[in-house]
Amino acid sequence: MQEATVTLQFITPCLGNVRGGPGEPDKFEHDPVTGLVTFYQSYWQNLLVRGAQAYSKCQNGVRLIRVHPCIDGKPKIYRRYYGYDSHTDHEAFLVGDEIIVKALLPDGMTPLDFEAILKLAGGYFGISPYGWQSGFGRFTVKRST
């Protein structure tokens, strides 16, 4: 296995889904030790499987990728409107915000394969705890190592 680090830049907002208290925004899950936003492996797994299908390569190996749950990035507040004067505030990564993600790649998968999978998956599906099906959390890959 080898470690890969990627910087992702959001092209649509990525929203937290944990209900806040009265007057508080919905939030992301946070690591209790570092305070960093956490994205579960299951979020990544769905995204990576779709990306590998679109890439037509690494479809078996993609299930062996292990993404570190802590996301290096600074969330802000996004106001999601769902009616004329109804809204919910969310902790969010906004359009243009960048996050750094680390992952362990299985033997036989290169960082270039991982980057290609993420580029395809991020442009079409995205990752957002609130829900990618509504178009939230789409991204592009800025850098990878």
How far is CA 76 from each of CA 63, 120, 137, 144, rounded to the nearest angstrom?
Answer: 31, 26, 14, 24
The whole-number pLDDT of residue 44 equals 95
**Number of separate domains in the chain:** 1
Residue 81 lies in domain: 2-137
Residue 84 lies in a domain: yes
Q: Is 96 left (phi over 0), alpha (psi -120 to 50) or beta?
A: left
The whole-number pLDDT of residue 85 equals 84
Residue 14 lies in a domain: yes
> What is the residue-level pLDDT of the chain in tens, covering all 145 positions?
899 999 999 999 999 999 988 889 999 999 999 999 999 999 999 999 999 999 988 888 999 999 999 999 999 999 998 888 888 999 999 999 999 999 999 999 999 999 999 999 999 999 999 987 788 999 999 977 7
The whole-number pLDDT of residue 137 equals 96
Whole-model pTM: value is 0.92
The rounded distance, in Å, linking the Cα atoms of 25 and 88 is 7
The whole-number pLDDT of residue 96 equals 98
Least Cα distance to 5 among 115, 120, 129, 119 occurs for: 115
Residue 23 tokens read as 């007057």
Residue 143 lies in a domain: no
The whole-number pLDDT of residue 84 equals 81
CATH number for 72: 3.30.70
Residue 144 lies in a domain: no
Residue 145 lies in a domain: no
**DSSP string for 126-140:** ---TT-TTTTTT-EE
The whole-number pLDDT of residue 83 equals 81
